[in-house]
């Protein structure tokens, strides 16, 4: 696949990213491919260098979602040809600016000719914790691995989601139990106020204490749930990076 076709396909695969993140990613990898062609003095197969556009796009999205400072799929350094900034014919070189999230320092701030451009003023919205996990899972499943390893990956992801779901369900059940107890105590207390005022006050007080515990535990469990989801995301992200490096460097 030639460079411009590859970058066009990559642009389509990067849909969903903010314009700024998308164009910075295209500029970074577009400049590398342009330099590679200039070094080789001929057209190269871009997919042989960077993998398929869909796989690369999935890794870029995961890198940005996780806020990684280095890309998972980082092109290898090109051999020196005496020209510090080789440029392929028809490609304009712009000053190098600050790298976006998920891209290394030195990423270009321009887009190679022939790549559709948007408005580079909108970054990718920050995802929720589950959105980050889902993005990493999609990137993990996009890695071209053998069938046995793919089955193992799916099993690991499924097991993690089942475990996480069971934990969150248990925490939610505890909070709901406190809430139900608080409501019941409150209703009983109101009823008993007219029969036994002291006992009624006792139940109303119990209701308020239980409601306070419900709110306290609810807030604590919410933070704990977020930490658990973030932990799963980081674990899956580590697996993703190692598998990607293993596929690109089999030795």
Q: What are phi and psi of 130, to 5 degrees?
A: -70, -30
Is residue 131's pLDDT more than 50? yes
Q: Which residue has the higher pLDDT, 16 or 121?
A: 16
Residue 15 corresponds to which tokens in the numbers above? 């849909």
Q: pTM for this structure?
A: 0.57
Handedness of CA 218, 221, 226, 232 (dihedral sign): negative
What are the tens digits of pLDDT across the range 53-105? Answer: 888 888 888 888 887 656 666 555 554 444 444 433 333 344 333 444 444 33
Question: Tell me, what's the pLDDT at 76?
Answer: 52
Q: How far apart are CA 224 and CA 230, in angstroms?
A: 10
Which of 40-44, 158-162, 172-176, 225-229 has the least mean pLDDT?
40-44
Is residue 46's pLDDT more than 60? yes
Question: Tell me, what's the pLDDT at 210?
Answer: 92
Q: Which residue has the higher pLDDT, 202 or 119?
A: 202
What are the tens digits of pLDDT across the range 144-168? Answer: 766 677 788 778 878 888 888 888 8
β-bridge partners, 163:
none
Q: Delimit the domains of the chain by residue range.
A: 3-124, 147-248
Residue 30 CB contacts under 8 Å (≥ 6 apart), including other chains: 3, 7, 91, 108, 111, 112, 115
Residue 117 CB contacts under 8 Å (≥ 6 apart), including other chains: 23, 111
Taking CB atoms within 8 Å and a gap of at least 24, the contacts of 44-50 are 44/3, 45/1, 45/2, 46/1, 46/2, 46/3, 46/5, 46/6, 46/7, 47/1, 47/6, 49/75, 50/6, 50/75
Max distance between CA atoms of the chain, in angstroms, equals 96
Taking CB atoms within 8 Å and a gap of at least 24, the contacts of 176-181 are 178/210, 178/211, 178/213, 178/214, 178/217, 178/218, 179/211, 179/214, 181/210
Is residue 180's pLDDT more than 90? yes
Cβ proximity of 211 and 182 under 8 Å: yes
């Amino acid at each position: 696949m030639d460079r411009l076709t590859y970058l066009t396909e990559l642009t389509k695969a990067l849909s969903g990213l903010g314009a700024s993140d998308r164009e910075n990613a295209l500029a970074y990898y577009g400049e590398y491919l342009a330099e590679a062609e200039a070094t080789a003095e001929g057209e190269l197969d871009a997919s042989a260098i960077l993998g398929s556009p869909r796989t690369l796009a999935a890794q870029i999205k995961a890198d940005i979602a996780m806020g990684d400072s280095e890309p998972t799929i980082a092109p290898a350094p090109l051999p020196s040809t005496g020209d510090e900034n080789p440029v392929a014919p028809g490609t304009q070189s712009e000053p190098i600016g600050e790298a976006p999230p998920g891209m290394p320092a030195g990423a270009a701030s321009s887009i190679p000719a022939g790549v559709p451009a948007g408005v580079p003023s909108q970054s990718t919205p920050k995802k929720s914790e589950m959105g980050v996990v889902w993005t990493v899972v999609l990137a993990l499943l996009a890695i071209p691995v053998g069938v046995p390893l793919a089955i193992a990956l799916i099993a690991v992801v499924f097991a993690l989601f089942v475990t996480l779901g069971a934990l969150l369900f248990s925490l939610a059940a505890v909070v709901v139990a406190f809430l139900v107890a608080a409501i019941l105590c409150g209703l009983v207390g109101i009823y008993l106020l007219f029969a036994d005022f002291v006992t009624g006050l006792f139940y109303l007080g119990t209701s308020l204490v239980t409601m306070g515990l419900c709110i306290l535990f609810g807030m604590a469990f919410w933070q704990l749930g977020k930490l658990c989801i973030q932990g799963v995301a980081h674990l899956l992200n580590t697996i993703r990076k190692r598998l990607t490096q293993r596929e690109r460097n089999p030795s």
